[in-house]
């Protein structure tokens, strides 16, 4: 076996080991999980998630997922909690404690303190018979037979199992809340993902110039309008109604047939019934129209009147593509 073959073999074995453990989690789910989800959903407080070591890292990711899907959550490191950070926990908060063994010294100190506060305690542990598993109000079993680490030491499979249970919690809560793509956009306003969810045609068209000519505009002036507005197109408009469109491609095809353009007007070379989209449509929907029709520009309308232009380059620049 070559070094590269050995690397691929180890990688595949790691993936298969973790995949098997994750598939087994389905069999470990019980009423504890359902009741934990219902408790969080009905809670008037936040979700405080705590852990130590690699479990703490997983806790931060679950916190991020919950916050982004409508469930307020806060991370509290288990070691810091017993040195002053217990003040993070408020009266109505639900606490999730993550620990593979459920028997670490920090957990044994922390759990009774949480219980004294009368907060609901949810455990995510690979040992439901552990101190944490027995003390928790609801115990979510994240048991794995072995770590992907060949020495069965480094947290690998176990942390993946914790993460998956956290995702399952978040998705169940998302479903209960009827969390929509619009809600999602509120929490993800930045980046390409957010823009796909909130950016509208009007947001783009307003940034562009508005190339427009009348049906009787001479071709030389049409060329000037297209060139000055730098969108490769001009809408042919009369009484606020779009009659057609002239693109730089139309200009090239016209010149290919004849260089004598004297007497020609916009109406003579325009394409009738151009593709249009409402100004209030999502930008991602504009992309669908452009791709479906293999065009680069799309005319936007508002209340049936010419509003502006959306160019494929706008969508690329915004990261929609």
| Annotated binding-site positions for Zn(2+) | 77
60 near 35, Cβ under 8 Å?
A: no
Q: Could you tell me the CA-to-CA distances from 265 to 83, 228, 242 in Å, in that order? A: 81, 18, 16
62 near 51, Cβ under 8 Å?
A: no
The Cα–Cα gap between 277 and 236 comes to 16
Collect all residues with Cβ–Cβ distance below 8 Å to 13 and sequence separation of at least 6.
148
Q: In terms of Cα–Cα distance, which of 95, 91, 165, 84 is closest to 135?
A: 95
Q: What are phi and psi of 204, to 5 degrees?
A: -85, -50
Residue ranges at the known binding site: 77
19 near 155, Cβ under 8 Å?
A: no
Two tokens at 174? 């998302």
Q: In terms of Cα–Cα distance, which of 121, 190, 156, 217 is closest to 21?
A: 156
Ramachandran assignment for 190, one of left (phi > 0), alpha (psi -120 to 50 degrees), beta (any other)? beta
Radius of gyration of the chain (CA): 30
């Amino acid at each position: 076996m070559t070094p590269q073959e050995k690397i691929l073999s180890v990688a595949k074995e790691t993936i298969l080991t973790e995949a098997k453990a994750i598939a087994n989690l389905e069999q470990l789910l019980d009423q504890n999980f359902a009741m934990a989800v219902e408790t969080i959903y009905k809670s008037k407080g936040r979700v405080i998630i705590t852990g130590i070591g690699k479990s703490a890292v997983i806790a931060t990711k679950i916190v991020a997922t919950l916050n982004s899907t409508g469930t307020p959550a806060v991370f509290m490191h288990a070691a810091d909690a017993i040195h002053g950070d217990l003040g993070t926990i408020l009266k109505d908060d639900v606490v999730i404690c993550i620990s593979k063994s459920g028997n670490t010294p920090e957990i044994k100190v922390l759990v009774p303190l949480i219980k004294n506060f009368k907060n609901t305690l949810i455990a995510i542990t690979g040992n439901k018979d552990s101190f944490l598993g027995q003390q928790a109000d609801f115990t979510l079993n994240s048991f794995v037979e072995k770590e992907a680490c060949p020495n069965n030491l480094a947290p690998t499979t176990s942390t993946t199992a914790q993460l998956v249970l956290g995702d399952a919690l978040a998705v169940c809560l998302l479903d209960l809340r009827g969390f929509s793509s619009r809600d999602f956009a509120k929490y993800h306003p930045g980046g390409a993902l957010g823009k796909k969810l909130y950016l509208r045609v009007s947001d783009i068209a307003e940034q562009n110039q508005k190339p427009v000519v009348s049906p009787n505009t001479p071709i030389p002036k049409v060329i000037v309008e297209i060139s000055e507005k730098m969108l490769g197109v001009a809408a042919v408009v009369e009484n606020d109604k779009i009659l057609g469109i002239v693109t730089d491609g139309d200009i090239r095809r016209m010149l290919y047939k004849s260089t004598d353009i004297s007497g020609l007007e916009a109406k003579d070379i325009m394409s009738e019934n151009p593709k249009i989209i409402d100004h209030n449509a999502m930008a991602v929907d504009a992309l669908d129209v452009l791709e479906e029709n293999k065009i680069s520009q799309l005319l936007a309308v508002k209340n049936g009147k010419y509003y502006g232009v959306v160019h494929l380059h706008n969508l690329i620049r915004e990261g929609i593509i």
